Amino acid sequence: SSEVLEAIENVVLNVLTSLGKQKAPVLTVANRSDWRNIEFEDSVGLQMIPCCTIKKIRSDCSNSAPKFALMLKILSMIYKMVQSNTYATKRDIYYTDTVLFGSQSIVDNIINDISCMLKIPRRSLHILSTSKGSVAGNLSYTEEDGTKVNCTCSATVFSVPSNVEGIKNLISHAKFMLIVEKDATFQRLLDDDFCNKLTPCIMITGRGVPDLNTRLLVRKLWDTFQIPIFTLMDADPHGIEIMCIYKYGSVSMSFEAHHLTVPSIKWLGLLPSDLQRLNICKDALIPFTQQDQKKLASIQKRPYVARQPVLRRELEIMAASKMKAEIQVLTSLSSDYLSRVYLPNKLQFGGWI
């Protein structure tokens, strides 16, 4: 707490010093969306380089003055929360003055900029995110407020906690963890009792692109249990992008890579080569859109692809075919092919990246 308060005080002191010298105050933030500021390291994933390009948020420029004011406003709110040991969600902050902030995305972006500027993880700023992810399977833990969560004894789905850092007493006999891209597939596997049938496991879904809490939970479970983690994604550029976020991280959150990425994650499926190997009927595949081609070309240029020849080969297979497939395409083979044949065979005999 004292570290956070001191960091905010230093920002305010710089503002006051500039005003005392009759200069326009400026806030300096690393440019989080610039690939030139990112490097790839095998053990961490995508991380921000120490000497990165910056953007200046000036108080004397009509374009940036509103953002300058909003950053000071949110810094003030964070300071009070840390002092009083209270927490708020990003949504709570937005609703304190919706007219002033304009939109939720503006608040989200400013909070990430502040976290990056102060070099302090967002959870240490006492700002929580509303979780959209779900967890099920062989896992129990205690939330920060003392609530006991036991996913093991039932097929009940639990929401990913909003304060992942605060959970404790984690217990699991799981042999592996499976990250599922879509909620529909996650629910189908639960209905098939996949978490217990083959061997005890933990299942997580971020319901598409994962939020911060889902990524934090995956990392916490990895740190705690050190069990293999597999991803089950659609065989399309969007699914590959989501797998890469869990495994290598994202550009916008690269300043927090050490807390969010798990580079040992394996891409279990659905692989583009699986579509050929299983003789999936072409009529069941979906032709690429222009957006798909653009997304795949962008992924192929990323620094981690050059270091992963097997991953590169899968991307080349997809690029050559210009076809994609959802996980549900396996139902064309049989209604329970995913849980009865595909996953057990993959987990027993290999065939992941």
Q: Please, how many CA atoms are within 13 Å of residue 330, restricted to the half-sphere of its CB? A: 22
Choose among 215, 254, 257, 239: nearest CA to 299.
239
Side-chain half-sphere of 76: how many Cα atoms within 13 Å? 7
Among 253, 213, 224, 229, CA closest to 133: 213
Q: What 3-state DSSP class applies to 65?
A: helix
**Vertex 270 angle, CA 152 and 140, to 5°:** 15
Point out the catalytic residue in the list 79, 87, 94, 95: 95
Active site residue 304: no
Beta strand 176-180 with 201-205 is parallel
For 106, the 3-state DSSP assignment is: helix
Contact present, 277 and 245 (Cβ < 8 Å): no
* Residues paired with 266 in a beta bridge: 230
E strands present in 31-171 = 38-41, 45-48, 54-58, 88-89, 127-128, 134-137, 140-142, 148-150, 158-159, 168-171
With b meaning 16 or more CB within 10 Å and e meaning fewer, what string describes 49-62?
eeebeeeebbbeee
CB atoms within 10 A of CB 189: 24
Mind telling me the catalytic residues?
95
